[in-house]
Chain A
Amino acid sequence: MAGVPSEFELSTNARDFLIDAFQKFVLGLILTFTLFPIFMMIATSLKSESELYRDGLHLLPSALNVQNYVDMWARFDLVGFFINSLIIAGTTTVICLTVASLAAYAFSRYEFPGKGLFGLTILSTQMIPGVLILIPIFILFLTIQREFGVPMINTYHGIIFIYSTFTVPFAIWMLRGYFDTIPAALEDAARIDGCTRLQALYRIVLPLAMPGIAATGMFVFIIAFNEVLFASAFANDGVTPFAIGIQEFQTNTGTHWTEMMAAATVSSVPLLLIFALFQKQIVSGLTAGSMKQ
C-alpha cells in the first residue's frame, strides 16, 4: 500500500464505511427473514384464539397468555406423539450411526476395488422419489407379516428400519469427512501394538471422532423426527410420531393455530438447544465432506 496517495486513502475509507454499513443492513434483512417465522411461532403461541382473528396487524400478543401450553395436551395424545417420535428418532440415530460409521471408515481409510462405484451407488439413493419405493416396501412388509407372522406395519421396528436405512447415505458422507481428519498414524501404531483392524476402529478412531459422530447423530435425529411421507403410511395406530400427530390441530371446523404453535414451539426447543450446543461440530461436519479436493 506504500505507493497509494494519501487523499486516495481517505476516500477509500469513506467508501469502506458506506460499504460496511450497507453490508450490515443486508445482513439485518436476511436475519429478519430468517427469524421472523420463529418469532411468529412464539408470538402466536402466546395469543388467544380471538386475538389471532382480530383485524389489523398485531405482531405481539396483547398479554402473555400461556393457556395454549396448558390446553394443547388435552386436545389429543400429544405426549404420546412426542414419546413415539423420541423412540423412533432416537433408535434410528443409534442404528444408523453404528452402520454408517463402519462404512464411512471403509471409505476413509481403505482403497478397494469398486470404491468409486459403491460411493456413487450410495449417493444415487438420494435421488429415489419416496413414493416409488413406498408401495413395494408396503407390500414387502405385508408379505413379512403374512409369511413370518412378524408385524411390521404400524410398529416401531418397521419404521425404525426404514429410517435407519434412509439416513445411512447422508451419515456416511458426513462421517467420512470427520474420519479423514483423524491421522491414520494412530491406528498404525495400535495395529503394531497388536490391535486388530476392528479394535483399532473402536478403540482409537471412534473415541476421537466422537464430536463428529454426535453432530452426525443430530442430523439423523432431525431427519427421522421430520419425515412425513413414510410415517403417514407406516406409523399410525399407536406409534404415530409428532410429525403426523401435529396435523390433528387441523380439524374440519378449522385449524387451532395458537395451540399448534405452542406445540411447535415445544418441539423446536430441544432441537434448537442441541443445535446450539453442538454448533461448532455440526458446521465443521457439514462442510468437511464437500471441502476436500
Chain B
Amino acid sequence: MSVSIEQFTQSLRERLTVPSLGFDDDSRFAYWLLLPSIAMMALIHFIPMVWGFVISFMEVNDSTFIDWMNAPISPLKQYSAIFQPNTAVGAEFWSSLVETFLFAFGTTIGVYVLGLTTALLLNKSFRGKLTARTLVLIPYFAPAVATIYIWRMMFTADTGVINELLVWLGVINSTDEMFWLIGNNALISMIVVNVWKNFPFAAIMLYAGLQSIPEQLYEAASIDGASRWATFRYVTLPQLKPVTAVIVLLMIVWSFINFTIPYLLLDKNPENGEVLMLFIYNFAFQNGDYSLGAALSIILLVISMTISYGYYRATMKSSVQGGAV
C-alpha cells in the first residue's frame, strides 16, 4: 500500500514538475519581470472586475454599501430589470445602447476617413511638412479636460462661436435657434469632439503605415500602368490593413468606454446623448444603485468584447499576434 502511495506521489510529482521543467532560466526571469505588472493589474483590474460581476447579482446600494457582503442576493434581478421596458432603467436602456453604438461608429468612421486623408496628404514631400505634422498632432496632446471645455464653450447656443459663425454665414437667423449640447444634436457634438481628439492618432499611425509600404509595389503598379485610383485601391489600402484593424478596434472600444467627453461636454443628466457610460454613472452614483450599475457595466463589457473578438477573428489575427503586446 505504502509503495503504491509512493508511486502515486512520485508520478504526481513528475506530472507537476513536467511544466516547470519547461521553464528554463529565461522563462523564469521573464515571469519575474512580468510579476509587478500582473500583480498590480490583478488588484486594480481583475479582482475588481470579478467583484463587480458578483455585485451585479446582489442588491448593493447606498444603504447596504459598507456591509456589502451581507447585501441580499437576488440573481438576475438587475439583469431582468434592464431588459424589461417597463422599469426605470429598462425604459431608457435600449435608446442609450443605440446612442452608444452611433457614438462609436460615428467616431470610428470620422476618425478613419479624416486620419487617412491627413496621412495621405502628409505622405509626400513639401515645404513645411514637419510643421504640418506637428500641428495636426496637437489635439491628441493638449489636455483633454481643457479641450472638451473649449468645445463646450464653442457649442453653447447663445454665445458660442459655432452658432455665431452659422449666423454670419446665413445658415441660421439667430444664435439661439440651434442647440448643439441638448436635443438630437448632442450626439453629433460628441462625435465631432471625439473625432477632433482622436483623428491625429489615426493619422500618425496610418502615416507610418504608408511609409512602410515597399517602394517596389508602387514601381510594379506603375509598370503595369495602374491609375492613381487603382494604385490606391489595390496597393495602398491592402497594405494598410493591419494598421487599419488596430485603429478601428481601438476607436470602437475607446468610444464605448469613453466617460470624459459625455460627462464634461453635456449636462450631467442629458435627455439625448446619454451614452451607456454616462447612463451607468448616473444610475450607480446619482441614484446609489451600485448593483444595477455593475450589471449594466457587465453588459457593456460583454458587448465591447464580443465586437472586439468578432473583429479580431475577421481581420487582425496576424497583426495582433505580431504587433500589439
- From B121, B136, B242, B246, A26 is in contact (CB under 8 Å) with B121
- From B114, B263, B297, A30 is in contact (CB under 8 Å) with B114
Number of interface residues of A (CB under 8 A): 101
- From A40, A57, A113, A272, B150 is in contact (CB under 8 Å) with A40
- Contact yes or no, A291 B30, CB < 8 A: no
- Contact yes or no, B301 A34, CB < 8 A: no
- Chain A, residues 227-255, CB within 8 Å of chain B (1/0): the string is 11100010000000011001100000001
- Contact yes or no, A136 B151, CB < 8 A: no
Query: Does A162 count as interface, using CB distance less than 8 angstroms?
Result: yes
Query: Does A105 count as interface, using CB distance less than 8 angstroms?
Result: yes
How many angstroms from the CA of A121 to the CA of B45 in the assembled complex? Answer: 11
How many angstroms from the CA of A34 to the CA of B305 in the assembled complex? Answer: 32
Query: Does A35 count as interface, using CB distance less than 8 angstroms?
Result: yes
The verdict on A122 contacting B325 (CB below 8 Å), with A132-B49, A135-B290 known, is yes
How many angstroms from the CA of A228 to the CA of B34 in the assembled complex? Answer: 28
Complex interface: chain B residues within 8 A of A192 (CB) = none
For residue A25, give the distance in angstroms from its CB to the closest CB of chain B. Answer: 10
For residue A264, give the distance in angstroms from its CB to the closest CB of chain B. Answer: 3
Complex interface: chain B residues within 8 A of A226 (CB) = 143-145, 260
Query: Does A271 count as interface, using CB distance less than 8 angstroms?
Result: yes
User: Which of A16-73 touch B at CB < 8 Å?
Assistant: 23-24, 26-27, 30-31, 33-35, 37-38, 40-41, 44, 52-53, 55-57, 59
Most chain B beta-carbon neighbours within 10 Å: one of A23, A133, A162, A228: A133
The verdict on A261 contacting B150 (CB below 8 Å), with A133-B52, A165-B45 known, is yes
- From B37, B135, B136, A102 is in contact (CB under 8 Å) with B37
Query: Does A137 count as interface, using CB distance less than 8 angstroms?
Result: yes
- Contact yes or no, B143 A267, CB < 8 A: yes
Determine the main DSSP class of A at the interface with B. helix
The verdict on A110 contacting B29 (CB below 8 Å), with A226-B143, A268-B143, A289-B323 known, is yes
- Contact yes or no, A132 B324, CB < 8 A: no
- Contact yes or no, A142 B66, CB < 8 A: yes
- Contact yes or no, B324 A225, CB < 8 A: no
- Chain B, residues 239-264, CB within 8 Å of chain A (1/0): the string is 00011001000100100110110011
How many angstroms from the CA of A226 to the CA of B321 in the assembled complex? Answer: 30
- Chain B, residues 274-306, CB within 8 Å of chain A (1/0): the string is 001100110011000010011001101100110
- Chain A, residues 196-223, CB within 8 Å of chain B (1/0): the string is 0100000000000000000000000010
User: Which of A98-115 touch B at CB < 8 Å?
Assistant: 99-100, 102-103, 105-107, 109-113, 115
Query: Does B118 count as interface, using CB distance less than 8 angstroms?
Result: yes
- Contact yes or no, A135 B293, CB < 8 A: yes
For residue A58, give the distance in angstroms from its CB to the closest CB of chain B. Answer: 8
The verdict on A165 contacting B41 (CB below 8 Å), with A26-B121, A57-B168, A287-B205 known, is yes
- Contact yes or no, A106 B161, CB < 8 A: no
Complex interface: chain B residues within 8 A of A31 (CB) = 132, 135-136
Spell out A's residues near B (CB within 8 Å).
Answer: 23-24, 26-27, 30-31, 33-35, 37-38, 40-41, 44, 52-53, 55-57, 59, 99-100, 102-103, 105-107, 109-113, 115-116, 118-137, 139-140, 142, 161-162, 164-166, 168-169, 172-173, 176, 197, 222, 225-229, 233, 242-243, 246-247, 255, 257, 260-261, 263-265, 267-268, 271-272, 275-276, 279, 283, 286-287, 289-293
- For this complex, 9 residue pairs linking A to B, each with C-beta atoms less than 8 Å apart, are A57-B167, A99-B40, A127-B253, A228-B259, A228-B264, A260-B149, A267-B146, A286-B205, A291-B212
Contacts A131-B297, A261-B153 known; 17 new A-B pairs at CB < 8 A: A23-B121, A31-B136, A37-B139, A40-B150, A41-B146, A56-B164, A57-B168, A59-B161, A100-B37, A102-B37, A110-B33, A137-B44, A226-B144, A283-B204, A286-B201, A290-B319, A292-B323
